[in-house]
Structure 1
Amino acid sequence: MSDWVSMCVVISLVLSIFTAAGYILYSGLLWDVTVLTGSPPMKKVKFAYKFKEGPYKNCGQLFKESHSIGPGLSCIGVFYDDPKKVPGPQCRCAVGSILSEGENEADEELLKRYETSGFNVFSFPEVTHVVTTSFPHRTFFSILLSMRRVYPQLELYIKERRLCAHPFLEIYREGEIQFMVPLARQGDFYVPEVRQVERRLSEQEESHSDTEVSGADSNSEYSSGSGVLLSDSRETSLAASSVHSVDQGDRDYRGRRSGGTSFTELVWEQAGGQQEEREERLHVDSGQKSPEVPTQAWWGVVGGEE
């Protein structure tokens, strides 16, 4: 009798192991992540969103809330900071659902439902070139796998080609997670709350700097400042990663900087100084002058932090 029980336990254990292995494989464990430069996976969109400051691992609730209002709509997340470089409480994201794409009109009833639930509405333009890839969205574990497998490859791809690409977008639809990083008009992908946060941080920095200078003057020994000025721009530079990649026309987006000590410095130099022509075109499109981008970088999404 005891032998029979032991055999049943062993069989159950083996079946559990095979089931778990099958689940992980089905979730995309062996998916071939191919990063490339090309057309975006979406056209211009209008979407309802909620802005959040805090660890990206806590964004799951916003995805659930947005999906519950419009179950048939594609969900979207926009991530502005690198949790490896920016403290979790200061990481910024916008999460919501796509209300319309291209020339289609948004459903007014759905729009009202989102607004009633406290969501804001914003539009993203259609750009010609982005860094993009995709990953299967078959189970919840697919999301965790994508964070570990996709972002390292995106980062390496962008770093190797010295691209100025940010912010990072994730679009969840039709059993797939589509990743997209704009190579132009990046400022148009920053929701208004990002500028408000940067303005607040800038004011805090200036206040801190004034306090230090005042204290130094009173001692008549030296004066000091923070040395950091966060801009009022919506643009931020972000970083993500890649090991296996396909190159499609990315040479047109290479930076002109040679050498350098870090990818963050490279991206910021490209964003602030070496892509002046792109910024001038952005200023013409937006009709306003965009100050220097703040020195923050991005990484990851739900469960993608360390």
Structure 2
Amino acid sequence: MESRGHLLTEQSNPNSQELDRFSSLELVDLFVEEDGRVLQAITAAREAIAQAIDCTAQALAGGGRLLYIGAGTSGRLGVLDAAECPPTFCTPPELVQGILAGGEAALVRSSEALEDRFEDGALALVERGVTAQDVVVGISAGGTTPYVQGAIAEARQRGATTIFIACVPIEQVPSQADLEIRLLVGPEVLAGSTRLKAGTVTKLVLNILSTSVMVKLGKVYGNRMVDVSVTNQKLRDRAIRTLVDLTDLSRSEAESLLDRCQQRVKLALFVHWSGLEVEEGRSRLEAAGGHLRKALEGE
């Protein structure tokens, strides 16, 4: 097997050569210093991330899906981001999907050996019926994961838009993806442990990507989650507070309005501000592609 020692993610960090001698306070200070490189890496990749937001939003608006695929920490982070979209943005579970080498069992038990099968990554996309409408985001800290490479190859063959997220420079590990997001955080405090800075920077970028895409899709008004799924008491309270904060309604009036609008905050806001009946408000919102601001402005 070819050595991976030359990869940026596998190199030894000169700042942690004596890590086993550090006091607890020195360990904390070192991690703080090293984690500061995470935001620098995101800033350096800002244009590529913005491009990823735009192409993903366009694909989803056209009926496509966003699929993250990875192994180990990278794959788990994709699954986590996908799982949080339905409760946050009221999206159907199939719209944003996380695919992890080894499946659900690998969420809680290490299955890194499964990342070595190129064909399994391709098969995962075949099983999900990936098409040219979809966006496939391959996540691999070191960039060499065969499972992810197989997925990218299959996605390209099917005409899907492909995005590759890695923490090594492109000259170390080229890819065939349509768009590259290279997050160069440098060697880890614990050599090769990419659950650290590489995992942190990946989590932040997935936060940015999915949240920004949902903003583009009209899931947000101002900085409020107006497409939230009211599935428990906490979320119902948040929905009512949003209505109270954004309107002149009392809490009891907001509750009544939310109930009339089938627990849909966005519809409740539109009905209140437009003066329309619920069914007419729903039709107008749908005609505006679900964008509350566009519906209010009559676009």
TM-score, normalization: structure 1?
0.28
Compare the two structures and name the one with the higher strand fraction.
Answer: 1
Which has the larger helix fraction? Answer: 2
